[in-house]
Structure 1
Amino acid sequence: MNMSFFIEVLLGGLLSGVMYALVAIGFVLIYKASGVFNFAQGAMVFFAALTCVGIIDKFGVSLWVAVPATIAVMILLGIAIERIVLRPLVNQPEITLFMATIGLAFFIEGLAQLVWGSQVRKLDLPIDDIPNTYLMDNYNILVSNFDMTAAAICGVLVTVLALLFSKTKVGRALRAVADDHQAALAVGIPLQRIWAVLWGVAGLVALVAGMLWGARNGVQFALTFIALKALPVLILGGFTSVPGAIVGGLIIGASEKLAEVYLGPYVGGGIEGWFPYVLALLFLLVRPEGLFGEKIIRRI
């Protein structure tokens, strides 16, 4: 019985970890291309989810119509961000780009609520949030079908993105742009086009993450804070690694659930909220670049 309960908690954490990994990949994509932490990713998650449910409520269409429409909106948003905000800042200091993403975060949050309203919305996905009967009947393990399906969706998308950026021409161009903007431009790589593609993909990732988390917790402003959960994931996995985001997400998801169940009774409630950051802080002391991050050697 104790082992079944341990596996149940571990599986729940790993399934949440896959969803954390998806959010973290949105950060990795932008960081690989520009070398800056995209503070606006959480706002994009909120904007995507609110736009999807807003289209459903305002126009009375089905989810299958709203999702493609929202995909188009998020791709256009990503391209607009690249054209209007980032393109004029090419080759500027990284702190300038970081401050630009902070401004973008507040702008996107305000725009979403201006267009669709600020009240909490319900997002219904065609996924039953009930215990999986097979695991329950055969192994006495209580795991939600919603969590399993959401993790499967995230896993497929994460795999596709990993292959896209490791096996394709766009992936090679991305790595060149990440290494040196000037050199990439010198050899004919279209920097603006690569950035536009990445921001469009980041918008698509934000939509999937926003819909899954919105269906679970409601579409509300708190979705913007989901992005903060990706920070310890990135610290563990490395800011430039898609596989690192996957492994980091699994570690954070599993560790926070296990800590909540087994350490929570001894240290008090709320450990799930802060334990990942403590783990990330301890990890920084041992391997600052992350499990899959590249060591940076600066010569003076």
Structure 2
Amino acid sequence: MLEFQFFLEVAVGGLLSGVMYTLVALGFVLIFKASGIFNFAQGAMVLFAALSFVGFTEAGLPVWAAFLATLAAMLLLAVGIERIVLRPLLGQDHMILFMATIGLSIFLEGFAQALWGTQVRGLELGIPDEPVELGGLLVSKFDLSTAAIAGVLVIALSLFFSVTRIGRALRAVADDSQAAQVAGVSLGLIWAVVWSVAGFIALIAGLIWGARLGVQFSLTLVALKALPVMILGGFNSIVGAILAGLLIGVSEKLAEVYAGPLVGGGIENWFPYALAIGVLLLRPTGLLGSGTTTRA
């Protein structure tokens, strides 16, 4: 009985982590759906958001004002990226756009640290990281609270892009951007909205992961955890990202606890990528992704 309870506690902890992975992955998925671009700069946006929030609080702003100031900065950053970097490249090969996001990532990392400094900072959200009993299971109060916040945002974003007019326009652009433009959809507007949402997601992810790991350069690597989520769920599937995030979170925790001691630990770091590679071999578009595969 105790073994099963421990198994459930590990699985629930994995689910809570998976919700936060899903939130990060949504930033990638939304941009990919709208433009076909893998946004390599999403991790740098997470770091920029976390550093900006801490910088504003250190400047004397209360938490709510720092949050609003950082949100405004992220929205301006997102619109600036779309207008200055991506819009001039509209119609270019996707590889060129991808390379542009790599350059953007390097620039944002350097700019954020030049603006706010390079030292590691703590970030306090007022949520204690202590165990709480939930249905007989011990769960981290911090994980439970942040997963609830991330879960609400994931559901809200999913509904927004599923039932609203902008969401329908996004799906039209994802299916056929040229036909959508002919039908009157403004591609520039869709890109600006999607990048703004990605900036908002980066802000929430930066606060959550910054509070857990500290605000430091390694926050950019957190976004890489979203890559196996996207591969597993499908690069253009919001529902797939949600399911894959939960699956990745649970599987990596269980693998670390039960298989880690057999190989000296560290499975949690690479198991999601191994799982994603296995899925790619069997289904290149992911579990719920769509598209065609071209073989050369």
TM-score under structure 2 length normalisation: 0.97
Letter in 2 for 1:63: V
Aligned position for 2:17: 16
Instruction: Structure 1: state its 5+ residue gaps.
Output: none
Displacement of 1:168 in angstroms is 0.8
Q: Residues 56 and 62 of structure 1 are in contact (CA less than 8 Å); yes or no, is this contact kept in structure 2?
A: yes
Q: 2 CA distance for matches of 1:278 and 1:244?
A: 18
Letter in 2 for 1:49: A
Q: 1 CA distance for matches of 2:294 and 2:28?
A: 24
Mapping of 1:43-82 within 5 angstroms? 43-57=44-58, 59-82=59-82
Displacement of 1:175 in angstroms is 1.2
Q: 2 CA distance for matches of 1:144 and 1:237?
A: 27
The reply on whether 1:190 has 2:186 as its aligned counterpart is: yes
Q: Residues 284 and 293 of structure 2 are in contact (CA less than 8 Å); yes or no, is this contact kept in structure 1?
A: no
Q: 1 CA distance for matches of 2:66 and 2:157?
A: 23
Instruction: Give the secondary-structure state (helix, strand or coil) at the position aligned to 1:143.
Output: strand
Instruction: Give the secondary-structure state (helix, strand or coil) at the position aligned to 1:142.
Output: strand
Instruction: Give the secondary-structure state (helix, strand or coil) at the position aligned to 1:78.
Output: helix
Displacement of 1:65 in angstroms is 1.1
Aligned position for 1:161: 157
Percent identity between matched residues is 64
Say which of 235, 238, 242 aligns to 2:238: 242
Displacement of 1:182 in angstroms is 2.1
Q: 1 CA distance for matches of 2:167 and 2:288?
A: 17
The reply on whether 1:284 has 2:280 as its aligned counterpart is: yes
Say which of 198, 218, 222 aligns to 1:226: 222
- Find runs of 4+ consecutive structure 1 residues off by over 4 angstroms: none
Say which of 175, 200, 204 aligns to 1:204: 200
Aligned position for 2:37: 36
Aligned position for 1:107: 107
Q: 1 CA distance for matches of 2:253 and 2:242?
A: 17
TM-score under structure 1 length normalisation: 0.96
Q: 1 CA distance for matches of 2:131 and 2:61?
A: 30
Instruction: Give the secondary-structure state (helix, strand or coil) at the position aligned to 2:40.
Output: coil
Displacement of 1:297 in angstroms is 6.1
The reply on whether 1:97 has 2:93 as its aligned counterpart is: no
Displacement of 1:298 in angstroms is 6.3
Q: From the superposition, tell whether residues 31 and 156 of structure 1 become closer, same or farther in structure 2 (CA, over 3 Å).
A: same
Q: 2 CA distance for matches of 1:176 and 1:167?
A: 13
Aligned position for 1:26: 27
Letter in 1 for 2:100: A
Instruction: Structure 2: state its 5+ residue gaps.
Output: none
Aligned position for 1:6: 7
Displacement of 1:295 in angstroms is 3.4
Q: How far does the alpha carbon of each residue in 1:196-226 deviate from its partner, in whole angstroms, 9 at most, with x for none? A: 0110000000000010000001000000000
Say which of 253, 259, 266 aligns to 2:249: 253
Q: Residues 173 and 194 of structure 1 are in contact (CA less than 8 Å); yes or no, is this contact kept in structure 2?
A: yes
Instruction: Give the secondary-structure state (helix, strand or coil) at the position aligned to 2:138.
Output: coil
Q: 2 CA distance for matches of 1:10 and 1:201?
A: 30
Q: 1 CA distance for matches of 2:178 and 2:294?
A: 19
Instruction: Give the secondary-structure state (helix, strand or coil) at the position aligned to 1:220.
Output: coil
Q: 2 CA distance for matches of 1:241 and 1:162?
A: 10
Aligned position for 2:209: 213
Aligned position for 1:84: 84
Aligned position for 2:120: 120
Instruction: Give the secondary-structure state (helix, strand or coil) at the position aligned to 1:151.
Output: helix
Letter in 1 for 2:119: Q
How many residue pairs are counted as aligned between the two chains? 295
Q: How far does the alpha carbon of each residue in 1:66-85 deviate from its partner, in whole angstroms, 9 at most, with x for none? A: 00111111011000000001
Displacement of 1:142 in angstroms is 2.3
Q: 2 CA distance for matches of 1:11 and 1:181?
A: 40
Say which of 126, 130, 142 aligns to 2:138: 142
Displacement of 1:128 in angstroms is 1.5
The reply on whether 1:272 has 2:268 as its aligned counterpart is: yes
Alpha carbon RMSD of aligned pairs, Å?
1.4
